[in-house]
Amino acid sequence: MAILNPLIHAPVRLQLLTSLSAVSEAEFVTLRSLLEVSDSVLSKHISALVEAGYVHSRKGVQAGRRTTWVGLTKHGHAALRDHVRVLRALIDAVE
């Protein structure tokens, strides 16, 4: 039986990855607002996902201010798909 990915399963990380799956990249402040977390909490989760190779981040300037952009990698897409497949199997076992 396949198991849930503990790195992805944390609620904020799962929400972050699913949000990123719909776009090529998202700005840090947009993600912070969407997930309703502090800068430090989001930074910590992004760092863990970057280290695993699930997301990439880049810094830039937009409208005269520094910003960070975050995007899902191919490896991250695959890991999220696998995690969702396991979740669906668990849900199907209940119904």
pTM recorded for the entire structure: 0.90
In the CATH scheme, what architecture does the domain 6-94 have? Orthogonal Bundle (1.10)
**Residues 44-53, mean pLDDT to the nearest whole number:** 98
Q: What is the DSSP letter of 83?
A: H
Calculate the alpha carbon distances from 19 to 2, 26, 67, 94 in Å.
Answer: 24, 9, 18, 26
**Residues 71-88, mean pLDDT to the nearest whole number:** 96
The Cα 53–Cα 77 span in angstroms is: 10
Structure tokens at 62: 């937009």
Of the candidates 83, 1, 27, 16, the residue with the CA atom closest to the CA atom of residue 49: 16
Whether the pLDDT of residue 95 is over 80: the answer is no
Secondary structure (3-state) at 63:
coil
Whether the pLDDT of residue 62 is over 90: the answer is no
